[in-house]
Amino acid sequence: MQRKSMERRLISKAGSGRPYGAGRPAGRGGGGGRRKQVDPRLLDITRFVKKAIVTTDSEPFDPKHRFADFKMHDSLKRNVYTKGYVNPTPIQDGAIPYALEGRDIIGIANTGTGKTVAFLLPLIDKAFRKRGERTLIVTPTRELALQIESEFRDFSRGLGLRSAIVIGGTGFPRQIAAVSKNPEFVIGTPGRLKDLISRRVLDLSSFNNVVLDEADRMLDMGFVKDIKELLGMLKEERQTLFFSATMPKEIGDLAQKFLKNPITVEVKSRATSENVEQNVITVKNSDQKLDILHDLLLKPDFKKVLIFRKTKRSVESLSAALVKNGFRSDSIHGDKSQSQRERALRRFSQDELQILVATDVAARGLDIPDVSHVINYDLPENYEDYIHRIGRTGRGTKTGNALTFIEEGLGAVARPNVRSFGRGRR
């Protein structure tokens, strides 16, 4: 029986209020560090309401180089050409020449701007030209590590270079076997890297190149102590590359301690959120959310929807409810096996699923094509997390949509002029 929707579209002016704050994480865990809880009464929800800015008259980026111009081996350039890359993005154009010279680099650019290519190409070229070069790439999440390794395989095809992936959620034997072959590249998350080091399987003293990718995210997840320990185990004479979307003080302190005379390449680009249409949905209580979500997902423009929830259990519960209601949905979170997470992401990327429900493990680093909507079913813990969540839609030059559920009475300090969006139970 067709369900009758009583939803009312809300149209609100974008507002700006005082910052929306949250505590720093106190530790680390499977999908992120344990964080202090935000007092929802302090949320400034005007920051979740904003019209997308579509720019049509801005000048296109004019790179100083083409990939063919970079001083890389011809074999690597052929792989770059096969991937269809001709002109670099701003972060690639700025960072690759210095990285090829062996300089330490701090690269700051928004998510989705090509930071992975900016560090992979110079280090692949280095390893191909000189035997004995070994690189450690540290990432905050398993998914990002797998994404980097996939890019590595494409760019290093036919060059005789090997990699090992070192992440949680999968068995030790295969990873131990891969690391024992002394691959030129080891790509992993801090926790599992430390596990293999403690088992005396992985010895970082032979590594003379290191990349910290999404460095600010690792800070948020409480990995600073682990990062310091890992960097302290590497060769003193090394090339160190930090790549991050932001540059908080703690990352600056790490860079000052562990990098030598670094070049900072900072891409001044518009905020991730500027091409994302943002709005809130006010509900009387949490029980209304599922009914309203159901009505939204029936709309034809909700083609590919990423839904964020706070806990692993709530992610599973919502995804199961959506499947029961006939939607093509799956979930990812820290308790899923790695094969389950990879399968869900692959199916979502290939449009076999309409909906992916996730914890913040999916909020950074993932490049999933054509996500039409991001829905914050549960509130993010701070505004930075919000920005990274909604950054999964509106990628590149495309526009996207983000909706955030707000219960009446929350965000009361600075409420925008919005009406309720939804209906009561019948």
Per residue in 267-279, pLDDT (tens digit) is 865 555 677 889 9
Average pLDDT over residues 381-396: 81
What mean pLDDT value characterizes the chain? Answer: 81
pLDDT value of residue 418: 38
pLDDT exceeds 80 at position 415? no
Q: How confident is the model at residue 31 (pLDDT cuts 50, 70, 90)?
A: very low
**Which of residues 109 and 302 earns the better pLDDT score?**
302
CA separation for the pair 212, 227 (Å, rounded): 9
pLDDT exceeds 80 at position 117? yes
pLDDT value of residue 163: 97
pLDDT value of residue 272: 55
Average pLDDT over residues 20-28: 34
pLDDT value of residue 6: 31
| Max Cα distance, the chain (Å) | 70
Q: pLDDT > 70: what percent of the chain?
A: 79
pLDDT exceeds 50 at position 207? yes
pLDDT value of residue 103: 97
CB 389 within 8 A of CB 380: yes
pLDDT exceeds 60 at position 57? no
Sheet holding 163-166, edge to edge: 163-166, 185-188, 135-138, 209-213, 239-244, 105-108, 263-266
Least confident window among 105-119, 263-277, 297-311: 263-277
pLDDT exceeds 80 at position 135? yes
Least confident window among 313-322, 327-336, 382-391: 382-391
pLDDT exceeds 70 at position 356? yes
CB 417 within 8 A of CB 276: no
pLDDT value of residue 413: 34
pLDDT exceeds 60 at position 8? no
pLDDT in tens, 9-19: 322 222 223 23
pLDDT value of residue 197: 96
Highest mean pLDDT among 200-204, 246-250, 381-385: 200-204
pLDDT value of residue 46: 62
Q: How confident is the model at residue 393 (pLDDT cuts 50, 70, 90)?
A: confident
| Domains of the chain with CATH codes | 40-55+271-414 (3.40.50.300), 67-266 (3.40.50.300)
pLDDT value of residue 93: 95
pLDDT exceeds 80 at position 162? yes
pLDDT exceeds 90 at position 373? yes
Least confident window among 35-49, 208-222, 338-352: 35-49
pLDDT value of residue 269: 56
Q: How confident is the model at residue 198 (pLDDT cuts 50, 70, 90)?
A: very high
pLDDT exceeds 70 at position 94? yes
